[in-house]
Each structure stands twice: as C-alpha cells, then as structure tokens.
Structure 1
Amino acid sequence: MRSFFGQDSSKNIIQSPVMIDPSRSPFIKERVEVMFEGEDLAEILEQVDQIHLNALTFKVVFVKINDLEKSEKIEYQERLKIERDIGWRIHGEADLHNPDEVFGVVTLGGRWYFGKYLKGEAVWLRHLKKPREYSTALSTRVARAVANIAVPNPEGINAIDPCCGIGTVLVEALSMGIHIVGRDINYLVTNGSRENIAYFGLHGEVVTGSISEVTQNYDVAIIDMPYNLYTHATPEDQLLILKHARRFSKKTVVVTIVTIDDMVAEAGFKITDRCVVRKGKSAFERQILVCE
C-alpha cells in the first residue's frame, strides 16, 4: 500500500489518484475507476442516467468492501436492489454473465462512488507449479509483493535480481511487465530460472556470473539474500553482496531471514521501510527491507 499509493491505512479500502491494475497484487481485490460521486445513492442514480452504451451490454456490481460500521452494513437483498436500481437508469442492455462493461458502486467516507469496475485476477497462482523449484524459494505471493515494492511503477525502470536462484521473483516481475534481468553464480539454478521463465511464456535475460561482475547501473535491485544449501553464503559474502548492490543500484529491496540492519548500514544503505512475512503458523519469518 505504501509503495503503490504513498499512503498507509488500517482500512481495507482506499481512495487514490494512482491507477493500479488489481491483478498485479495478491493484496488488491478490485478497483472502481470513479466516474460519478455523490452524498447519497440518489445522487448516483441521477448521474448514471447520462450513460448511453448503445449496443454494448453491462453489469452493475455492489462492492462489498467498504468502511461502513457493522451496524450500517448493507445486506445482500439491499445490495441486489441497489444494483437493479442503478441498472434501470443506464441506457443499454444488462447482461449478468458476459457483459461488455462492468460498473461498480461503493460507499466510502460517507459518500457514494460509481465507475468502471475491474476485478483482480490471481495471476501468481498460475505460477505455483514450476518445472524447477526448491523448498527455500519465496512463495509466488511474496515474490510478487516484493517485485511490486521494488518497482511500483515499471515505466522507464531497469531492475536486476543478482541472486535470482530459480527465478521466482523474475517470473512474477516479468509477468507484470517489469524490465528485469537475472543473475546467479550457480549455473544449475540459472538454467532452472531460464526454464521456469520460458515455461510461462515469458522472456527475460538470465546470466550466470558473480554479482561482482555487474557493470551496468540499475534503478533497483531485488536480493533474496542467499542462505541455503545451494550457496553456503557467509555473513562476509552477504556484506559483499550488499556493497556491490550499493555500487550499481539506487534502491535495493532485500529479503533476509536474519536481522542485518548493521550490515545494511555498513554497505552504505539506509533502511526506509520494512515488513515481516511469516510462513504459515511456523516461527520461520523473513524480513523485507527497502534500502536506499
């Protein structure tokens, strides 16, 4: 939320001028692109009368996620009535199953909003089963969130994953149109990364080589800090990785299973944001650090 919209909220709904495709995030369910707003539903009904769809079909969806108190909750039958009342005002043919246009109506902050509705698609779920995988890799859900935290707006951004492993982050980033290249010192995992990327019909460059060999500058680096049996990375190795990232990237998002604040500072970075991800009900957790 902070990376995409530049704001934080304890509620499950926000209003923002930033337009994000909800399918980009595991944590965004839907979006209403506001066309009309009013103090109450009656004002919305007056305004939707302007919509002329000609030969196009449509559907109206009442968005259940809102900031209403429990005592003010709008129940199912009333939601259906609101959808029907709005639908009667729109000049076009209703189609509940395969409409050309979907509209959404939602209440927030005591006002009503109406506009084009877009439902998110769980794209990352398609990437769960890969030809190559190992147990310590990030989940597709976390990998997608990390890619979004690193690159909330892909336009004009060049990113690198210099310790890419089997390409979990690469697959998620590439599937969202992020321009990212991968690199890893282990040829076995870079081969696996290339296979995984191709398996999903994506295209991305993956190089076998040390992070020390990176010569190009990047806007952002994503580093899932090596720690498993495939890499045998020592704290000294991890510090060196961070120092190299500082050399060629303006911003680095680091995923780590241990606290490395001192190491991040020694590499010349400042931690500007962080969160913790826990794996199910276990004690295993990862920190995600935004370093600039």
Structure 2
Amino acid sequence: MNKHKRMPAFIYTYACRMDERALCQMEMRSLFGIETKMNILKTDVKVNPSRSPFIKERIEVLFEGNDLSEILDQVQSIELYESTFKVNFVKINDLDKSEKIEYKERRSIERELGLRINGEFDFYQPDYEYGIVTMAGRWYFGNYRKSESIWFHHQKKPHEYSTALSTRVARAITNIAIPNPDGVQAIDPCCGIGTVLVEALSMGIDIVGRDINPQIIEGINENLRYFGFEGDVSCGPISEISEYYDVAIIDLPYNLYTHTTLENQLSILKHARRIARKVVVISIETIDQMIEDTGLEIIDRCIAKKGLFSRQILVCE
C-alpha cells in the first residue's frame, strides 16, 4: 500500500442571497462537516453538486501548485488523443478585490492550459471538462462539473400551497436531514403538498410521505407523477405510524394557518421522537421548550428568511 497516496480533494463554489446565508452554511455543515464564510470550500467529501441549491460547481482536484506555472507543467501529462475537452476558469474564489482576475486574463489562462493538453478542444460538447481555480494562495486544476438547478424545475406543480416551503429551501432541508442517503430510510409524516418528497425523490432518497388530510393525498400523488416519481404516500395521523425510520422531516403545522393547537404540535413531536432516530423540524415559532419536553435535543439550527417571513430549521436527536 502506498503510504504517500494523496487523499482525494474537491473544491466547491457557492452562491446564495444574504437571507439564505444561514441556511446555506447549515447545509455545508451537514454535507461536509465544516462551513466557510467564503463562497468557496475545499474538502475530501464528494457530493454531486446538483444536490445543493447553493453549490455552483465542483472541481475534483488532479493537480495543485503554488503558482499557475506549476499547473501548466503538470497538465502536459494529460493524454486525451482524439477525445475532446474544455477548460473553465472558475470565477468564484477568495481573492481580494484588488487581486481580481479579469475576463481577458481568465480566457488567456484557459488557452494556455488548453495548448498543453493532448486532445481536441471543443467549447460546446466536450468529452471532458476541466476547471482551474485559485484558493488560499494555491492553484488547483481538475475534473469540472457544473451544478444543474434541478430544484428550479420543481417550482411549478399541479397542486400548490401558498404557505409551502420553496423548492430551494426544501432541497436544502433535505440535504441537512439526509447528507448521506445510502441505506437511509426517511419519512415526511406531515408532507402537505409534497414539496420535500419531490426534492428527496429527485435525489434518489428512500422516503415515504404521510398526511392527515385525505383531501390532499391525490394532489400529492399527482405532483409526484407530474415529475415522474413514484411515491409511497399514506393518509393518517403520525400517531398511527408503527415503523421506525432513520430520519423524520417535519414541517410543523402552523396555528397561524391551520386549526392545529400547541397540544397537537407537541403530540406530533413526541411521535416523531418515537418513530425516528433523527428529527428535522421546521417551525415559524420558537419551540425550544416544546422540543425539550419531548426528550429531543437540538444539535444544530438556523433561521431561513424570505422577506418578513422566517422559519426556524432545527436538527434534533
């Protein structure tokens, strides 16, 4: 075994609005175990960039160096022969504004790298895409993958609630609840119109849905079918669930918009603790005491804002 084998490294770039920053950082902590105030992050954790509504792109590092010349030397070892390629200069970095690399220089760097790679350049449909980025005073070059805004295509559903989570928030919450989907069984026992279900199923997560309102069950299923998903959605209260899950995601019914009571909310949380090892709760009110009364412990939290409306996201175990 090679003792000097290098650990894989991945660089992710981010973009989010100021009011999404706390949610974005909470998702970072869940996916990578770290967060950064910058819009660029280096880690040994491999994640499909399209999972996150905030990740813009990912570089799987092949070469690194103290300056660009070291990268230029190393890329000469790439032999693609008749395969095609493209080089992307990643604009998001941690450089000071005074050190910003302008458009012409970025294109020049892409060309310099391209001239040293043995292959055919193709701007539009390359067989291979590479990325070059600078971070923390070093340069990195590697396989490039741009994020697809899958959540964006889920915004318009046949059935919608005005108070439902946005698809961006639902997708981030799903990542916070289930950072590593392999072998994880999840449930959304108050699934409303199915916003979380759609995002989770689009990521290949094993999740089932449930709602107490029989009038919306067909609407949930129609939403799932609209996006090509087959879901397991049942009708009934959380109190009737006997199965045990790894994670429960609960967008707590709000007494501002429904006929729910504090007693009903407490009952939902108590049953959530009974049926799941980990519970992620979305609430428009501060419910720390209620969480404590159920025997759950809040291990991470943030506030997701949209205009004047705020939701608290609580990760509990």
TM > 0.5 fold call: yes
TM-score normalised according to structure 2 size: 0.90
Q: How far, CA to CA, are the matches of 1:250 and 1:231 in structure 2?
A: 27
Aligned match for 2:248, one of 198, 221, 228: 221
Task: Give the C-alpha shift of residue 230 in structure 1.
Answer: 7.3
| 8 Å contact kept, 2:193–2:216 | yes
Q: How far, CA to CA, are the matches of 1:204 and 1:253 in structure 2?
A: 20
Residue 29 of structure 1 aligns to a residue in which SS?
strand
Letter in 2 for 1:148: N
Residue 263 of structure 2 aligns to a residue in which SS?
helix
Q: Aligned residues, how many?
A: 290
| 8 Å contact kept, 2:255–2:261 | no
Q: How far, CA to CA, are the matches of 1:99 and 1:110 in structure 2?
A: 29
**1:148 is the counterpart of 2:175:** yes
Q: How far, CA to CA, are the matches of 2:213 and 2:134 in structure 1?
A: 52
Task: Give the C-alpha shift of residue 7 in structure 1.
Answer: 0.4
- Tell me the C-alpha RMSD between the 2 structures: 1.0
Name stretches of at least 5 consecutive residues in structure 2 with no aligned partner: 1-27
**1:203 is the counterpart of 2:236:** no
Quote the residue 2:15 is aligned against. none
| 8 Å contact kept, 2:53–2:149 | yes
Task: Give the C-alpha shift of residue 188 in structure 1.
Answer: 1.5
**1:291 is the counterpart of 2:303:** no
Letter in 2 for 1:163: C
Aligned match for 2:153, one of 106, 113, 126: 126
Quote the residue 1:26 is aligned against. 53
Letter in 2 for 1:147: T
Task: Give the C-alpha shift of residue 54 in structure 1.
Answer: 2.1
Task: Give the C-alpha shift of residue 229 in structure 1.
Answer: 7.6
Aligned match for 1:12, one of 39, 48, 62: 39
Task: Give the C-alpha shift of residue 55 in structure 1.
Answer: 2.0
Quote the residue 2:127 is aligned against. 100
Residue 134 of structure 1 aligns to a residue in which SS?
coil
Task: Give the C-alpha shift of residue 228 in structure 1.
Answer: 5.8
Aligned match for 2:262, one of 235, 254, 258: 235
Q: How far, CA to CA, are the matches of 1:141 and 1:240 in structure 2?
A: 28
Q: 1:61-100 to 2 correspondence within 5 Å?
A: 61-100=88-127
Residue 14 of structure 1 aligns to a residue in which SS?
strand
Letter in 1 for 2:251: D
Q: How far, CA to CA, are the matches of 1:190 and 1:123 in structure 2?
A: 24
Letter in 1 for 2:283: T
Residue 42 of structure 2 aligns to a residue in which SS?
coil
Return structure 1 stretches of 4+ with deviation > 3 angstroms: 228-231
| 8 Å contact kept, 1:136–1:228 | no
Residue 40 of structure 2 aligns to a residue in which SS?
coil
Q: How far, CA to CA, are the matches of 2:279 and 2:125 in structure 1?
A: 43
In structure 2, the CA distance between the partners of 1:229 and 1:72, relative to structure 1 (3 Å rule), is closer
Aligned match for 2:188, one of 150, 158, 161: 161
Residue 30 of structure 1 aligns to a residue in which SS?
strand
**1:42 is the counterpart of 2:92:** no
Q: How far, CA to CA, are the matches of 1:211 and 1:195 in structure 2?
A: 22
Task: Give the C-alpha shift of residue 231 in structure 1.
Answer: 4.4
Q: How far, CA to CA, are the matches of 1:228 and 1:155 in structure 2?
A: 35
Deviations 1:187-237 (A, max 9, x none): 112221111011100121000011011111111000000126874110000
